[in-house]
Amino acid sequence: MVHGLWSIRIEMGQTRSITTKNERTVVHMSTKRTGSVLVLGAGIAGIQASLDLAESGYYVHLVESSPAIGGVMPALDKTFPTNDCSMCILSPKLVDCGRHLNINVMTTSELIDLEGEPGNYKAKVKTRARYVDPAKCTGCGSCTEECPVKVDDDFNQGLSKRKAIYKQYAQAYPNAYAIDKNKCLKFKNAKACGKCLKACQAEAINHEMEDEINELEVGAVILMPGFDAYDASKLDYYGYGKVPNVITSLEFERILSASGPFGGHLIRPSDEKEPKKIAWIQCVGSRNCKNDHGYCSSVCCMYSIKEAVIAKEHSEHDLDTAIFYMDMRTYGKEFEKYYNRAQEEQGVRFVRNRVYELTEGEDGSVKIRYALEDGSIQYEEFDMVVLSVGLEPKGEAVELAKKLGIELNQYNFCEAKPLTGINTNKEGIYVAGAFSGPRDIPETVMQASAAAGEAQALLSEAKGTLTKAKEYPAETDVAGEIIRTGVFVCHCGINIAGVVDVPNVVDYAKELPGVVLSTNKIYACSQDSSGQIKEAIKEHNLNRVVVASCSPRTHEPMFQETLKEAGLNPHLFELTNIRDQCSWVHMDEPEKATEKAKDLVKMAVNKVALAKPVQPVKLDMNHDVLVIGGGVSGMTNALNLAEQGYQVNLVEKEQQLGGIARRLHYGLKGEDVQGYLNQLINQIEQNNNIKVYTGQEIADVNGFVGNFTTTLTDGQQIEHGVTVIATGSQEYQPQEYLYGENHRVKTLLELETEIADGQLDKVNNVVLIQCVGSRDSERPYCSRICCTKSIKTALKIKERRPEAKVYILYRDIRTYGFYEDLYTEARQKGVIFIRYSEDNKPVVENVEDGLRVTVTDHVLGEPVEIYTDEIGLASAIVPPVENNQKLSKFYKVPLNEDKFFLEAHLKLRPVDFSTEGVFMCGLSHGPKNLEENISQAKAAAGRAATVLAKDQITVEGKSAVVDKKKCSACGTCEQICPAKAIKVDEEEQAAVVNEALCKGCGACSSSCRCGAINVKGCTDEQIMAMLSAL
Amino acid sequence: MAINAAKFDPTFTEEVTNKVKKFDLTKCLTCGMCTAGCVYSDVHPDNDPRKFLRKIALGMRDEVLNDPFVWFCTMCERCTVECPMGINIAVLTRTIRGQFGLPLPGFMQKVVDETITSGNQMDVSQEDYKDTLDWIEEDLQEELEDPNFKIPIDVENADFHFGMNAREIKYYPHELTEIIKIFYHAGVSYTLSSKKWDATNLALFSGNNHDFWKITKPILDETVRLKSKELVVTECGHAFKSVRMGYKEFWKGPEFPVRSVLELYADWIKDGRLVVDKSVNSKPTTLHDPCNLVRKEGVYEAHRYVMENICEDFRDMAPNKKYNYCCGAGGGALAMPEFKEQRVKKGKRKAEQIDAVGAEVVAIPCHNCMDQFMDINKEFYGMKKDMTHVSPLLSEALVVEECARNKGKKKEESEE
Amino acid sequence: MAYEPKIVAFLCNWCSYAGADLAGIGRLQYPTNLRVVRIPCSGRINPLFIFSALRNGADGILTSG
């Protein structure tokens, strides 16, 4: 079986390497490949993949079955582990995706058939009539006000009502309504109702609209239909739907959400009382073999902790929260710290017991009788209980996959083929996100970029053949014009208008100097508002724009795009934050908040009046890549980019390629790792686009995105446009458990080699100890892969010597996703699992009778003495600290507290750095298994391609500017500049700024003794003008 | 004293696993759902199913075989009815009890042996059986004013063969009278057997399958011999479960349904064969769910339906049906007098359930449970509660002149 | 009415300003008498700005980055 899978993989690899070198024989491609991709599902995965592809030169058809893009994220309140508002971080992407010239968003649509071959598919897409023309609909909502039919609002999990004509959620793209055919009265009786038709001024509604079928030519398909939440009513013992105040975690997200049915006020839906005690029940529909959901849903532990933490923040009184769980699976990056903080600082209680039943108590409370580890019984009542429902594949997606001949696993998930991250059994069809297995947002985003990368490698010859370029109207020259400012004050639904008196602010702004228009917007960020702002710019001849809404950190680029589309320089714009920093933080003081909002608007109006156009700086782009690290991640990344047609330099510090994978023998799904590795190295060596440098490290780095010069230790210099850091990590050298003192105590990797060498074939007792060097005060992170790795090792020992007794001593078994099946299998094969707690660790001693491990059995509560032949320590994955610190300085990219590289955003930019043109993948990012590293390596390729595909590098241009006449060439600025972007020119006797490197921080300006330096886009004069508004 | 892991014996775990066949106990996650689910895990020591299971999973042979849990467990299946790994503690308890050569406590083995010899668990002689039936028959002839009334014995081709609990012959003939009276008024076709009439089987609890089949097979054979369409068992949980289990696991003969008499009662009320007047039973009444009838064999609604129709003030216990508590005397606890203390402690929790619902009458469709409820009545209520089977309540509520048989009669009379 | 000082805050776009956003996301409530000036970096703060703020009626200055 295992070998069967492996041989498929090799075959596919061979096919690939032949087909991508198009000068050779093309095996199964009869025609030229098509430069477009069909992306199925427009959740965060679909959006990310579409943006990556569209930015890299491919046209995308984004097919979504619901009336709006966004998927599940819009319905979530905050996201772990950063507690970012889900909608807030998503919405810029929604807008980017929705307005992207090379993304054809097809809502209310589904893929019904697919024919053809990799590179050339014909896809049949059915678009169901939405009965509202999105091109005409302004999203004004008049129709929905008139509609008499109330329906349970699915988006709010049925906690509130919507109408039969509805918009999925406030910030939906397309910002257009749709009619629920099953509920609309007019579909039951043509003569009935029709109120919406009368209400719609745009004449966008048409009940006669018919379904359409379109045939699209695409080169590849990416499946990311997402997931369904487990139906909690299937577990009658938790009383969902019967016991009041037992709700699901998704319902709880909506309760917490400011845009939810209760405006973010934490109440229980049954009687709207504020709960004082809430419990979470884990594994509802997960880790349950009885109902064929034997897998772990991977995300519930973290989301429950997050919900508990946020609930505490929302609650006015001291909210008591308890999470009932079996194993706490906080295995992701920064998760363990989040868990520790929840426990130690926020006081969330964690109770290790799978709850048996929920019963109705007094006054709507919910009773729980639970068992502690020692077997003692506790009784508690909670005001509300949240069921942490698991993830399962969507029924429609399963049907489609079956129709297309896509293989599914036993749970009907489309699990990726081993060691591919995102490949299905069909070439040219990829899978990403929760359809391939339960996973969280960062991994979903990672896979989405990986699938985009893989599709790009397949279709590289057709790159740019179907994309369109965006033409902006010529920029209006505003020099010398009288200031004509337009002010747009946003309601943000009720987020702002619920506190701030928006009409009052609008009126106030009308009187401010230079303001010729002041108006309000329900959602300034919506598609129709954008159109209205553009119209207003034309109609009122505006040459400055102020939007008073939310944070410029999330929304400024979007509004600037609007200005560009209207022919204005994007820097003639100011966004002032009257939501995050006003209405949200002064909820009980509406009058004062209104005064503050007025001041903020005035400051912005003053500032924008002095704004001048800033022109972007364009620089030449080097299209070569430097990949640092020749392990599996670096090689996979290099190979993908090489297949995309880019020249790749691959630097490895050892004399040979392979990295830590050279020490691996058994993949987690039984793959032959050495076979895989050799084949990968072979592909690298055979590829003409890849140049390998072994035995080399990075000695120096100069430059920036598009123009890096990296010097290797032997002095060779590499010019490149993009850098990928894939430097990997190391195995922790244990200080504990007699490691290094007794030769029978080994690390897991050492043990693995011995198993492969047959040295353990006669062993009788093996003890594996988990969390050695992980999850402690020194390294407060989880090394993520050790649980699965130890279990796999135990199974291997059992396979080779069934009579051996193997013990795994653990703190929490963290076999997330389908790895849970391995845990089940190990128990069935007789591997003995004993849980220890951090304050009662196993004791390893040399005693007269041999090597002895003493550990307290978690169920029996008694010490167990194990005399053992071998001890395997699941030692931590640790970063190469010095090396990482060095690269961190060279490429100006940050490390986290644990000294792994820190991405630009933990949730939505998992392989990017905020420093442009630098990406990362593999263990340098944090502990991950081989499969995940491969996926991430492809993701980094997919992301790097978005930069490499550009002909030129464009820098925003908000840089420092020197008034040569005032400059005394003292050199203070040169000393102070952290970006090394300013130098004194000896000839000119004045400081000169390198605009490409300048970050516009202004440190030079504030330290300039002559007042010779100013900062474009944020001048001294502008700041003074703001202050004069006080 | 530390446990030496060298004593963990995987062959023991394997042996148990092989014997239970239907599920894999080694899948246990030690999640504690069973400990929380067993309502008796905290009423006295040595009653934690997770610990018992853990010992089996670790291969602690001696500790398992000497674990008092083996006898304390009432085998009610509540703890693992929704075990996420599909493990069944009751089956494990039964397997350890009966298939590892353990001596049985109390008089359990004695009853099993006597049942094998005499054919019934009360050691009633065939003569006494006949005499009792004759006596009931005479009584009923008088009460029903029907001198031709006969209890059908060994009548072939009847709609059902009725299997009873030997207690009904020995201690509760008046209740048997009520049952037969109900059959009479419903106008149904049935038969009793002259040979094998006791459906009970204490080997269900002793765990010895050899004994078990020796006891249960004859009653299934009787159904075939008498050519009855189905076998119907009296309101006794363990008798019903034994027959069902024997039928499902060992029976190789012709197929026929095995049902509880309560299911028939419900059908007869529904289809109008029995007409009832609930005002007759006016006191607040609740209903026990015997584990062997309800949780283990899935009869959730029938007895409830009957109760709702024959009691004016029916109050369901909480929890009920699949999640109702065991009476505390399951698993043959009544045959192990040395563990009475534990049994009574468990009974207290059952009593709390009765209190919570405020019932004065408790209907208990099981002879085994009934004995425990009698003790509960004695220990906690000074005999103030009315503990009864369902049949007497039903019989009381019958509007006889409206029932099927009498309607027919009336019709006949009017035709004449 | 009690004396309420007027505070001007210079906040770095990348850290403190983001922190102030986070306070909003977390609905942390604080007094309204604070006016934020977003700057690209705390290095951007010219001493001149502080004088100017005070001259324009600020009672206190908060710089954070």
- CATH classification of the domain holding B350: 3.40.50
* Minimum distance, in Å, between the CA of residue A579 and any CA atom of chain C: 7
Q: What confidence tier does A82 reach under pLDDT thresholds 50, 70, 90?
A: confident
Residue A44, pLDDT > 50, answer yes
Same domain, B112 and B173: yes
The Cα A390–Cα A999 span in angstroms is: 44
Same domain, B135 and B238: yes
Nearest to B175 by CA among B413, B406, B393: B393
Spell out which residues of chain A touch residue B79, defining contact as CB-CB under 8 Å.
356
Degrees to nearest 5, angle at CA B133 with B130 and B136: 150
The Cα B34–Cα B25 span in angstroms is: 13
Q: At what angle do helices B367-381 and B237-249 cross, to 10 degrees?
A: 150
Counting as contact any 3 or more CB pairs under 8 A, the partners of C are A
Query: C14, C34, C35: best mutation site toward chain A, by most A Cβ within 10 Å?
Result: C35
Contact assessment for residue A992 and residue A967, using Cβ atoms and an 8 Å cutoff: no
Mean pLDDT throughout B120-138?
Answer: 96
CA-based nearest residue in chain B for residue A829: B26
Contact assessment for residue A397 and residue A223, using Cβ atoms and an 8 Å cutoff: yes
pLDDT for A524? 87
The Cα A874–Cα A895 span in angstroms is: 24
Same domain, B226 and B289: no
Contact between chains at B323 and A354 (C-beta distance less than 8 A): no
The β-bridge relationship of strands A120-127 and A109-117 is antiparallel
Question: What are A111's two structure tokens?
Answer: 């893929």
**Maximum pairwise Cα distance, chain A:** 94
* Minimum distance, in Å, between the CA of residue A390 and any CA atom of chain B: 14
Spell out which residues of chain C touch residue A1001, defining contact as CB-CB under 8 Å.
40-41, 43-44
Instruction: Give the one of A357, A860, A867 whose C-beta lies nearest to B54's C-beta.
Output: A860
Residue B138, pLDDT > 90, answer yes
Query: A290, A354, A355, A808: best mutation site toward chain B, by most B Cβ within 10 Å?
Result: A354
The Cα A939–Cα A694 span in angstroms is: 24
Mean pLDDT throughout A578-595?
Answer: 94
Question: What are B249's two structure tokens?
Answer: 């696991």
User: Which one of B77, B99, B121 terminates a domain?
Assistant: B99
The Cα A830–Cα B242 span in angstroms is: 33
Would an 8 Å CB–CB cutoff place B24 in contact with chain A? yes
Q: Kind and range of the H or E element at A320?
A: strand A320-325
Residue A1014, pLDDT > 50, answer yes
Would an 8 Å CB–CB cutoff place C1 in contact with chain A? no
Instruction: Give the one of A585, A999, A1027 whose C-beta lies nearest to C30's C-beta.
Output: A585
Condensed to tens digits (0 to 9), the pLDDT of residues A559-571 reads 999 999 999 999 9
pLDDT for A703? 85
Mean pLDDT throughout A787-794?
Answer: 98
CATH topology of domain A485-612: Rossmann fold (3.40.50)
Contact between chains at C57 and A580 (C-beta distance less than 8 A): no
Mean pLDDT throughout A225-253?
Answer: 97
The β-bridge relationship of strands A982-985 and A990-993 is antiparallel
Would an 8 Å CB–CB cutoff place B356 in contact with chain A? no
Nearest to A57 by CA among A452, A466, A446: A466
CATH topology of domain A732-876: FAD/NAD(P)-binding domain (3.50.50)
Query: B85, B87, B322, B353: best mutation site toward chain A, by most A Cβ within 10 Å?
Result: B85
The Cα A395–Cα A735 span in angstroms is: 50
User: What class, spelled out in words, does domain A228-392 have in CATH?
Assistant: alpha beta
Contact between chains at A999 and C35 (C-beta distance less than 8 A): no
Degrees to nearest 5, angle at CA A29 with A27 and A33: 145
* Minimum distance, in Å, between the CA of residue A264 and any CA atom of chain C: 10
Condensed to tens digits (0 to 9), the pLDDT of residues A293-328 reads 999 999 999 999 999 999 999 898 899 999 999 999
Degrees to nearest 5, angle at CA A229 with A228 and A232: 140
Spell out which residues of chain A touch residue B323, defining contact as CB-CB under 8 Å.
237, 357
Same domain, B87 and B233: no
Residues in chain C, overall count? 65
Listed range (A91-95, A175-179, A467-471, C60-64) with the worst mean pLDDT: A91-95
Instruction: Give the one of A551, A552, A603 whose C-beta lies nearest to C35's C-beta.
Output: A603
* Minimum distance, in Å, between the CA of residue B184 and any CA atom of chain A: 40
Condensed to tens digits (0 to 9), the pLDDT of residues A727-783 reads 999 999 999 999 999 999 999 999 999 999 999 999 999 999 999 999 999 999 999
pLDDT for A372? 96
The Cα A707–Cα A900 span in angstroms is: 25
Mean pLDDT throughout A969-980?
Answer: 89
Contact assessment for residue A858 and residue A835, using Cβ atoms and an 8 Å cutoff: yes
The Cα A642–Cα A689 span in angstroms is: 5
Distances (CA, A) of B304 to A359, A667, B23: 20, 56, 31
Contact between chains at A371 and B323 (C-beta distance less than 8 A): no
Q: What three-state secondary structure class fits A909?
A: strand
Spell out which residues of chain B touch residue A360, defining contact as CB-CB under 8 Å.
318
Contact between chains at A1003 and C44 (C-beta distance less than 8 A): yes
| Residues A96, A97, A101, A107, CA torsion sign | negative
Residue A64, pLDDT > 70, answer yes
Spell out which residues of chain B touch residue A292, defining contact as CB-CB under 8 Å.
none
Q: Kind and range of the H or E element at A719?
A: strand A717-720
pLDDT for A557? 84
pLDDT for C26? 64
Instruction: Give the one of A584, A1015, A1027 whose C-beta lies nearest to C44's C-beta.
Output: A1015
Contact assessment for residue A218 and residue A63, using Cβ atoms and an 8 Å cutoff: no
Same domain, B73 and B50: yes
Residues in a beta bridge with A381: A367
Condensed to tens digits (0 to 9), the pLDDT of residues B341-358 reads 999 999 999 999 999 999
Q: What secondary structure letter does DSSP report for A666?
A: B
Q: What three-state secondary structure class fits A173?
A: strand
Helix/strand/coil percent split, chain B, to 5: 55, 10, 40
Contact between chains at A1027 and C53 (C-beta distance less than 8 A): yes
Spell out which residues of chain C touch residue A588, defining contact as CB-CB under 8 Å.
29
Percent of the residues in chain A that have a pLDDT greater than 90, as a whole number: 85
Percent of the residues in chain B that have a pLDDT greater than 90, as a whole number: 96
Instruction: Give the one of A235, A236, A805 whose C-beta lies nearest to B8's C-beta.
Output: A805
Same domain, B252 and B121: yes
Would an 8 Å CB–CB cutoff place B323 in contact with chain A? yes
Q: Touch between chain C and chain A (3+ CB pairs, < 8 Å)?
A: yes
Helix/strand/coil percent split, chain C, to 5: 35, 25, 40
The β-bridge relationship of strands C7-12 and B284-287 is unpaired
Instruction: Give the one of A313, A588, A976 whose C-beta lies nearest to C26's C-beta.
Output: A313
Residue A613 makes CB contacts below 8 A (sequence gap 6+) with A475, A478, A569, A571, A572
Reading phi first (left if > 0) and then psi (alpha if -120 to 50, else beta), residue A922 is in left
Contact between chains at A553 and C18 (C-beta distance less than 8 A): yes
The Cα A100–Cα A87 span in angstroms is: 19
Residue A4, pLDDT > 50, answer no
Same domain, B117 and B60: no
Q: At what angle do helices A441-459 and A2-20 cross, to 10 degrees?
A: 50
The Cα A158–Cα A261 span in angstroms is: 9
Query: C8, C44, C48: best mutation site toward chain A, by most A Cβ within 10 Å?
Result: C44
Degrees to nearest 5, angle at CA B309 with B307 and B315: 50
Tally of domains in chain B: 3
Nearest to A628 by CA among A419, A905, A921: A921
What are the boundaries of each domain within chain A? 1-129+211-226+394-467, 130-209, 228-392, 485-612, 620-729+879-953, 732-876, 957-1029
Residue B65, pLDDT > 50, answer yes
pLDDT for A7? 34
Residues in a beta bridge with A347: none
Residue A638, pLDDT > 60, answer yes
CATH topology of domain A130-209: Alpha-Beta Plaits (3.30.70)
Whether a cis peptide bond, with omega within 30° of 0, leads into A863 is no
Residue B85, pLDDT > 90, answer yes
Q: Which CATH number fits domain A957-1029: 1.10.3720.10, 3.30.70.20, 3.40.50.300, 3.40.50.10540?
A: 3.30.70.20
* Minimum distance, in Å, between the CA of residue C16 and any CA atom of chain A: 12
Q: Touch between chain B and chain C (3+ CB pairs, < 8 Å)?
A: no
Spell out which residues of chain A touch residue C6, defining contact as CB-CB under 8 Å.
1030
Residue B198, domain member (yes or no): yes
Q: What is the CA radius of gyration of chain A?
A: 30
Question: What global pTM score does this model have?
Answer: 0.88
Helix/strand/coil percent split, chain A, to 5: 30, 25, 45
Distances (CA, A) of A1009 to A1003, A1020, B274: 12, 14, 107
Residue B212, domain member (yes or no): yes
> In degrees rounded to 5, what are phi and psi of residue A470?
-85, 130
Task: Provide the residue range defining the domain that includes B368.
Answer: 278-397
The Cα B250–Cα A551 span in angstroms is: 73
Condensed to tens digits (0 to 9), the pLDDT of residues A794-822 reads 999 999 999 999 999 999 999 999 999 99
The Cα B95–Cα B108 span in angstroms is: 15
Mean pLDDT throughout A248-267?
Answer: 92
* Minimum distance, in Å, between the CA of residue C25 and any CA atom of chain A: 6
A732-876 shares the fold of A1-129+211-226+394-467: yes
Instruction: Give the one of C26, C32, C56 whose C-beta lies nearest to A596's C-beta.
Output: C32
In sequence order, what DSSP letters do the residues of B149-211 get, joined into one string? Answer: ----BS-TT-SEEEEB-HHHHHT-HHHHHHHHHHHHHHT--EEB-SS--B---THHHH--HHH
Distances (CA, A) of B142 to A674, B134, B148, B150, C43: 92, 13, 10, 12, 110
CA-based nearest residue in chain B for residue A804: B10
Site of tokens 């499946």: A223
Distances (CA, A) of A503 to A490, A510, A516, A528, A781: 10, 11, 16, 20, 50
Residue A16, pLDDT > 50, answer no
Site of tokens 């979007």: A558
pLDDT for A27? 41
Residue B406, domain member (yes or no): no
Would an 8 Å CB–CB cutoff place B32 in contact with chain A? yes
Q: Kind and range of the H or E element at A711?
A: strand A707-712
Q: Which CATH number fits domain A1-129+211-226+394-467: 3.90.1150.10, 3.50.50.60, 3.40.50.150, 3.40.50.2300?
A: 3.50.50.60
Say which residue, B178 or A141, is predicted with more confidence. Answer: B178
Q: What three-state secondary structure class fits B116?
A: helix
Residue C2, domain member (yes or no): no
Reading phi first (left if > 0) and then psi (alpha if -120 to 50, else beta), residue A122 is in beta
Contact between chains at C25 and A584 (C-beta distance less than 8 A): yes
Site of tokens 């009940």: A207
Burial of A405 (0-12, 13-18, 19+ CB in 10 A): exposed
Task: Provide the residue range defining the domain that includes C24.
Answer: 7-64
> In degrees rounded to 5, what are phi and psi of residue B209?
-70, -30
The β-bridge relationship of strands A765-772 and A870-875 is parallel
Condensed to tens digits (0 to 9), the pLDDT of residues A677-725 reads 999 999 999 999 999 999 999 999 988 889 999 999 999 999 999 999 9
Tally of domains in chain C: 1
Same domain, B150 and B171: yes
Residues in a beta bridge with C63: C10
Mean pLDDT of chain A: 93
Condensed to tens digits (0 to 9), the pLDDT of residues A588-608 reads 999 999 999 999 999 999 999
Q: Which amino acid is at A875?
A: S
